[in-house]
Structure 1
Amino acid sequence: MQQSVHSPQNNNIIISDENAPFYQASPTGLYVIVYTINPVDQVPIWLSTVESWFKPHGISFIYRHPAQAVPLSLFENSQGVLLWNGTLPVFTQLKAWLNNHQIAYSFVECGFFPQTQHVYFDKQGINVECSLATDDLRWLPENASALLANKEHEFFDGVLAYCEHEDYIFVPLQLGDDSNIQLNSRFTNGMQPFIDYIENLYPSENIVFKAHPRDNNTYSSALATSYWSDACAKSLIKGAKKVHGINSTVLFEAELWGVETIIEGDCLLSRHKHQKRALLEAIVCYQHDLKGPAPDIECILDNTYIRLG
């Protein structure tokens, strides 16, 4: 039986009208194929700037959905393949097909401090699957500590500590269906079991919960000392005595500020629990600032399978 000359198509996936136009462009000149499931959000915030770093080298981006049939020739003629996030189940068939056809692909994902301003590239994956998870971090430059201190000042500058409650544990909630939660934690049945767990763990403590901004679910708390807040996460971090969460970016931000963290699940912080500060230094050095000068393209090429020509 001959192998398919197209990547697998899943007709059960419905592509929204606002996203559809991104997937229809044909390449002109040199191009990288970028797989993303929500380009209407991801392109303007992150990927348009990333593409601008390749433009001086004559390379543009074309976008495809992981459930979209794509001819093998499009991959063979490309400069490389990038997966935005790439961990969701919708990517599984695509990655298997790419592996079977010996087509190398790399990952790109939003970074940290803040997420909307940074991206990082990796040949292995994102989050706990990225190369930093097993890195010894011995490559850090001499100015890594100073770079991290500058990032801490920049990120928290002007933020006032939350003061509506005192002596509290801040608990940032995640989206229950977030791929990082589903793949790398034991709380796979939504946030209510996690809330119950936290309240059982801290029955005599002040607890301040903050729902994820995109979570429309309603949750219940049983303790009189449990509170809910929609205050800025950075403000809540500054006022907290401890931050307890599941694989949340907020945990990295709390470590940046120097607050004690309790980490549920498997993440970069848990992998480097004895050298968290060094990990943060590595992250700051590893990621790229979307609002800063364009990075040296060689730094990106070192962490991807993209070719310039």
Structure 2
Amino acid sequence: MYLTSISINDLPDSYVIVGTGRFTESFLKLLENTTLPRPHVILDLNTPRHNDKQYGIPVLGFEQYDSNLSENIVLGSDVYQVQLIDKFNAHFNTLVSFIDVSNDVQVFNNKTHCFNHLKEITSDYVLFFSVGSKFPLTKWLGNFYQWLNIQGVHLVSRHPMEYVSEEELKSAKAIILWNGETPHFLSLKSKISSLGLLVTYSECGHFPQHENYYFDKRGVNFNSQLLHDDLSWVDTHDYKVMKTVREHFFKGYKGKNEGYVFVPLQIESDSNLQNYSRFKSGMQEFIDFIEKLYPQKKLIFKAHPKDMYKNKYRFNHGILSNLDTKELIVNSSFVHGINSGVLFEAVLFGKKVIAEGECLLNHKAATMEDVVAAMLSRQKNIKDTRFNAEYLDRFTNFTGIR
């Protein structure tokens, strides 16, 4: 199951876009005030029959699709691309071309200025796979990209569902997967594994997320190499770094115990939630679990800022707060969540934390504090231009780059 990842400047004259959510809305806004072709129709796979318009474009239910409309299908999503393709193919036995435009839409949504990066193979290159690769490359990995250039190595970006030959994979100096946990990567990872090739994973870091990222030899989240390490190498220097980060991250927050349990919620599409927890059907299930667990305690929940369903949750005795997350952490008795990044922030501050999902904090051989100290040692600040051999040997599989 392959697709083609393109710039909106290369859109075909005739195409249909699948999906009616925020991604499609951003895509259509991106086309405003341009001469670029607009979709003939918007296909709504969630509604059997539809008769509406969005931005002046007809919206049809999936049963009304006909290949005469167009055989070029633009995916109106970045997160749910696999699901959209599966749902489309389940209803139509039609040969079509699926097209990804997540690069430009993510840049538009995040108002990011991007440098140009290669999609063509050159002599010495690293393959970088991500859904919407322009954004992580610019936001987090910009200095790493420049460092590679100094080494005479080019970075070539690909969508994980694009076709890539065995020779291209085998000839790469390194292969990097950004996150690599979502269904987009399943076929690619299987192909890489069958060739016996090593992969390095990368993801945004912590404290704060937008200023840091990390590399890992084995994976992200619960697949991290840190989980398979006793972390005995964590020393007093690492704890001093953690103290400095805590003072900076929680600057101005004093904290006191106000007697409540803080419960950070996540979004249903979070790969951490779907892959490493039992609460796969959404946050209402987790809310009910927590309220039953603590019938006499004061409970303060906070929804993820991108959660579209936060106004629909039902509470028995807990309350939903819009207060600053750090304030909710520092004034709580303890923090109880699934495997949200907020739990790591609570450990950094020194609060007791309970994690219901599988995550690094439930390490069998190390304390939660050891885990956070190790995470800080693993991550790089986005402004850092140094990539020494010791760091690369410990956290990457870049055997051909020094």
* Equivalent pair of 1:256/1:280 in contact (CA under 8 Å): yes
Structure 2 residue aligned with 1:44: 138
Aligned counterparts of 2:203 and 2:333: Cα–Cα separation in 1: 30
Q: Confirm whether residue 99 of structure 1 aligns to residue 193 of structure 2.
A: yes
**Aligned pairs (5 A) from 1:54-73:** 54-73=148-167
Gaps of 5+ in 1: 1-7
How far the C-alpha of 1:142 sits from its partner, in A, is 3.6
* Equivalent pair of 2:264/2:304 in contact (CA under 8 Å): yes
Task: Say which of 367, 370, 375 aligns to 1:278.
Answer: 370
Structure 2 residue aligned with 1:242: 334
Q: RMSD over aligned Cα, in angstroms?
A: 2.5
Higher mean alpha-carbon deviation, 130-139 vs 53-62, is at 53-62
Task: Say which of 87, 91, 105 aligns to 2:181.
Answer: 87
Structure 2 residue aligned with 1:261: 353
* Equivalent pair of 2:262/2:335 in contact (CA under 8 Å): yes
Give the letter for the 1:269 counterpart: L
Aligned counterparts of 1:251 and 1:273: Cα–Cα separation in 2: 19
Structure 2 residue aligned with 1:3: none
Gaps of 5+ in 2: 5-84, 86-97, 108-115
Task: Say which of 188, 192, 207 aligns to 2:299.
Answer: 207
Higher mean alpha-carbon deviation, 125-134 vs 294-303, is at 294-303
Higher relative contact order (CA 8 A, sep 6+): 1
* Equivalent pair of 1:133/1:271 in contact (CA under 8 Å): yes
Secondary structure in 2 matching 1:195: helix
Structure 2 residue aligned with 1:177: 269
Aligned counterparts of 1:54 and 1:33: Cα–Cα separation in 2: 12
How far the C-alpha of 1:286 sits from its partner, in A, is 1.6
The number of residue pairs the alignment matches comes to 299
* Equivalent pair of 1:23/1:64 in contact (CA under 8 Å): no
Q: Confirm whether residue 16 of structure 1 aligns to residue 93 of structure 2.
A: no
Aligned counterparts of 2:365 and 2:297: Cα–Cα separation in 1: 25
Going from structure 1 to structure 2, the CA distance change for 1:14 and 1:169 (only over 3 Å counts) comes to farther
* Same amino acid, percent of matched pairs: 33
How far the C-alpha of 1:272 sits from its partner, in A, is 4.3
Aligned counterparts of 2:390 and 2:293: Cα–Cα separation in 1: 48
How far the C-alpha of 1:39 sits from its partner, in A, is 2.3
Give the letter for the 1:70 counterpart: V
Going from structure 1 to structure 2, the CA distance change for 1:222 and 1:139 (only over 3 Å counts) comes to closer
Aligned counterparts of 2:315 and 2:222: Cα–Cα separation in 1: 33
Give the letter for the 1:244 counterpart: H
Tell which structure's C-alpha radius of gyration is larger: 2
TM-score between the two structures when normalised by the length of structure 2: 0.68
